[in-house]
Chains A and B, each alone.
Chain A
Amino acid sequence: MVEPLLSTDRLVKRFGGLLATDNVSIEVRPGEIHALIGPNGAGKTTLVGQLTGTLAPDSGSVRFAGRDVTRLPTHARVRLGLARSFQITAVLREFTALDNVALAVQAHAGHSFRFLADARADRRLRDPARRGLESVGLGDRADTLAASLSHGEQRQLEIAMALAGDPKLLLLDEPMAGMGAEESQRMVGFLGALKGSRGMLLIEHDMDAVFALADRITVLVYGRAVATGTPDEIRAHPEVRQAYLGEDAA
């Protein structure tokens, strides 16, 4: 059996009396799209925090690309190939779209203790950045300030930034949030095209998108992973139907 790309082993996180992550063990395999779904308050964001390193678990461990990364800070996990996009759009608003992606490229191009050379004239950063922008369909927006991009474009820009370091795993925190139907469709198409090239952990509320894209789905309810399986298995799972899909599937 292939070793999973990302896995957690009985992860626990408490906030006071609230058990936000309750013995969660999940696996993302190389090349698969693994969706994480669950109602609001299920602990998705808390789990993401522990995967990316912004939150420390109370117990349990996180393994990524064959290493225990439980104690590794965020930037070190990113270096290993764990990239993410944010639930609330996080681009560098005062920078152009191209600058945004070029900085993402730079993050993976050795250290940045270089004080004198003009980074904006550095083709080792600009060329891959331009290709990255083109790959998400923002080629003609390169010189636009990120703040002036539409919401959908900013989300595309985020994906381009996350992809810049050629990550092994892409953690997508609600990539369709706030998008119109048409923009969502385009994003689904784009993520579908990326499928197989790298592992993806997709946290998303848009069930159409989840069932269209995911190879496997894990359902989180009250901090617990109640089920993991293929989309068909999840649709048929009685506990899931009751806890979560109830109103949706009826």
Chain B
Amino acid sequence: MKDMLASMRTPRGLFTVALLLVFALLPLLTEAFGQRYLLSVGTRIVIWSIAAVSLNMILGYGGLVSFGHAAFFGIGGYAVGILSANGLGSGWLQWPVAILASAAWAAVIGALSLRTRGVYFLMITLAFGQLVYYLGSGLEAYGGDDGLNISRSRFAGLIDLRDKASFYWLCLALLCATLWFCSRFAVSRFGLVLRGAKSNELRMTALGFPVFRYRLAAFVVSGAFGGLAGVLLANEGAYVSPAMMSWVKSGDLIVIVVLGGIGVLFGPLYGTVAFFALEELLKPGLDLLHKGWGEYWQVVFGPMLVLIALYARGGIDSLLGRRDG
């Protein structure tokens, strides 16, 4: 506890506490300033943060650059969508099914792709991601390329997901739970094996760890949380479409994790906020300079990422001062 209080007084601690405070008060703030639209942006930031934290589990702590993480958005989302389209609207059914389906998919692609390394791993996870994408496009009964309007999951009497503020609180609570899990995971026996294998796989094998099994388990855990994010994303827009699992989204998630700080608990949070804020600010900002330029916000965003990659290798986290330990 004392350590926690001490670490809160560092710039990093203050920044994180301030960020969490804004998150906690966002529905009240947007209501007070009459900016309802910002609450839905906030909700998407929270959901994307959950996905980014889940990617950080394998990318940050495991060193496994998976380029197919948006598939879990899709599987989680479509599980909700397909069940809802078939009249099964209960969240108590939809959510576990969606999360289990995501975990199962993670087990399958993990079992195959974790036998490869480096660029091959990246390419094979990308290929599996695309497979799910085209599968979604091919689901003509569920909207094909156009996607599918769904009704939000029902938790009879407990919570109404159509209420924007309630839904936001729920997402935030789940983000906190995800972060809590990740903070334990990172220093657990399991987490140390995963991080050790990132540092030196050969060494870990020679110590007697079956590294493959631990990585596969990490993949499954990460996929389950990714699926949760997919469930929430589907409920946020009451809509699922193949676009939510395109390779661009997988790339965005990697960018977010790298931007925020790889293998840092709150890194994905910093990254998501920065990513969305830049998008929301650069678009109107460029439009102000010259009408129509806003569409090309990524022309400015791209070089910013290059600069981060070159000069701030630890991402935003490293700008908040040195870490000890």
Choose among A90, A113, A114, A118 the residue that contacts B206 (Cβ–Cβ < 8 A).
Answer: A90
Q: How many chain A residues have a CB neighbour from B under 8 Å? A: 35
Q: Summarize B's interface: helix, strand, loop or mixed.
A: helix
Residues of B within 8 A of A165 (CB): 207-208
Question: Do the beta carbons of B184 and A116 come within 8 Å of each other?
Answer: yes
Residues of B within 8 A of A125 (CB): 189
List which A86-116 residues lie within 8 A (CB) of chain B.
86, 90-95, 99, 103-104, 106-108, 112-116
Name the residue of chain B whose CB is nearest to the CB of A119.
B189
| Cβ of B275 under 8 Å from chain A | no
Question: Do the beta carbons of A107 and B200 come within 8 Å of each other?
Answer: no
Residues of B within 8 A of A113 (CB): 190, 214, 217
List which A123-137 residues lie within 8 A (CB) of chain B.
125
Q: A90-B200, A106-B193 are in contact. Are A117 and B207 (CB under 8 A)?
A: no
Question: Do the beta carbons of A103 and B193 come within 8 Å of each other?
Answer: yes
| Cβ of B202 under 8 Å from chain A | yes
Question: Do the beta carbons of A118 and B184 come within 8 Å of each other?
Answer: yes
Stretch in contact with the other chain, from A74-82, A213-221, A234-242? A74-82
Give Cα A94 to B61, complex, Å: 12
Choose among A73, A90, A114 the residue that contacts B190 (Cβ–Cβ < 8 A).
Answer: A114
Residues of A within 8 A of B181 (CB): 115-116
Question: Do the beta carbons of B192 and A106 come within 8 Å of each other?
Answer: yes
| Cβ of A84 under 8 Å from chain B | yes
Give Cα A120 to B195, complex, Å: 13
Question: Do the beta carbons of B199 and A94 come within 8 Å of each other?
Answer: yes
Give Cα A94 to B60, complex, Å: 14
Residues of B within 8 A of A156 (CB): none
Residues of A within 8 A of B191 (CB): 115, 119
Q: A75-B209, A78-B208 are in contact. Are A112 and B200 (CB under 8 A)?
A: no
Give Cα A107 to B207, complex, Å: 6
Give Cα A73 to B196, complex, Å: 19
Give Cα A107 to B203, complex, Å: 11
Q: How many chain B residues have a CB neighbour from A under 8 Å? A: 27
Q: A91-B200, A92-B200 are in contact. Are A117 and B188 (CB under 8 A)?
A: yes
Name the residue of chain A whose CB is nearest to the CB of B206.
A84
| Cβ of A70 under 8 Å from chain B | no
| Cβ of B205 under 8 Å from chain A | yes
Interface 0/1 of A53-76, CB less than 8 Å to B = 000000000000000000001111
Give Cα A11 to B200, complex, Å: 29
Q: A75-B205, A91-B200, A93-B200 are in contact. Are A99 and B192 (CB under 8 A)?
A: yes
List which B195-223 residues lie within 8 A (CB) of chain A.
195-196, 199-200, 202-211, 214, 217, 221
Give Cα A84 to B187, complex, Å: 26
Nearest-Cβ distance from residue A113 to partner chain B, whole angstroms? 6
Name the residue of chain B whose CB is nearest to the CB of A104.
B207
Give Cα A106 to B192, complex, Å: 10
| Cβ of A159 under 8 Å from chain B | no
Question: Do the beta carbons of B207 and A78 come within 8 Å of each other?
Answer: yes
Question: Do the beta carbons of A112 and B206 come within 8 Å of each other?
Answer: no
Question: Do the beta carbons of B208 and A119 come within 8 Å of each other?
Answer: no
| Cβ of A228 under 8 Å from chain B | no
Name the residue among B188, B189, B210, B221 with the largest chain A CB count within 10 angstroms.
Answer: B189
Question: Do the beta carbons of B199 and A118 come within 8 Å of each other?
Answer: no
List which A37-66 residues lie within 8 A (CB) of chain B.
52
Residue ranges of B at the interface with A (Cβ–Cβ < 8 Å):
181, 184-185, 187-193, 195-196, 199-200, 202-211, 214, 217, 221
Question: Can you pick out 13 interface pairs between chain A and chain B where the beta carbons lie within 8 Å of each other?
Answer: A92-B204, A95-B199, A99-B192, A107-B207, A112-B189, A112-B192, A114-B188, A115-B181, A116-B184, A116-B185, A119-B188, A119-B191, A120-B192
A sample of 6 more A-B contacts (CB under 8 A), given A79-B208, A86-B206, is A95-B196, A103-B193, A115-B191, A117-B184, A118-B184, A165-B208
